[in-house]
């Protein structure tokens, strides 16, 4: 999405399937992989990794993507499990 703000990109990611996004093929492949790893981590297979390689990602980039997605899930589950609220929400509740 040329010249898109981060907010516009986030809205597009939520609203459209990854194959309809105006992104480079490597970025679309990463979106599909991140979505699968987030929603159904048990379903990730060598086929999915091969698709990332076919889109031009090397093993380091695939590792980094996996680590970032996994870390984000981990941190969110820790925060959710401890009942952590966003600062803006806490301020609004005061």
CATH code for position 49:
1.20.1290.10
The answer to whether position 45 is within a domain reads yes
The answer to whether position 3 is within a domain reads no
Q: What is the tens place of the pLDDT at every residue in 18-56? A: 666 678 889 989 989 999 999 999 999 999 999 999 999
The answer to whether position 18 is within a domain reads no
The answer to whether position 59 is within a domain reads yes
**DSSP letters spanning 24-90:** -HHHHHHHHHHHHHHH-GGG--HHHHHHHHHTT--HHHHHHHHHHHHHHHHHHHHHHHTT---HHHH
The answer to whether position 76 is within a domain reads yes
Residue 1 has pLDDT above 50, yes or no: no
Structure pTM? Answer: 0.73
- Provide the domain limits for residue 47: 25-93
Read off the pLDDT band of 90 (50, 70, 90). low
The answer to whether position 78 is within a domain reads yes
Residue 4 has pLDDT above 70, yes or no: no
How many domains is the chain built from?
1
The answer to whether position 2 is within a domain reads no
């Amino acid at each position: 999405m040329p010249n898109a703000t981060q907010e516009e990109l986030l809205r597009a990611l939520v609203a459209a399937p990854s194959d309809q996004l105006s992104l480079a093929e490597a970025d679309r492949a990463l979106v599909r992989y991140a979505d699968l790893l987030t929603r159904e981590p048990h379903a990730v297979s060598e086929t999915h990794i091969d698709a990332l390689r076919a889109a031009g990602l090397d093993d380091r980039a695939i590792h980094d993507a996996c680590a970032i997605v996994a870390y984000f899930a981990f941190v969110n589950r820790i925060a959710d499990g401890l009942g952590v609220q966003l600062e803006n929400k806490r301020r609004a509740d005061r």
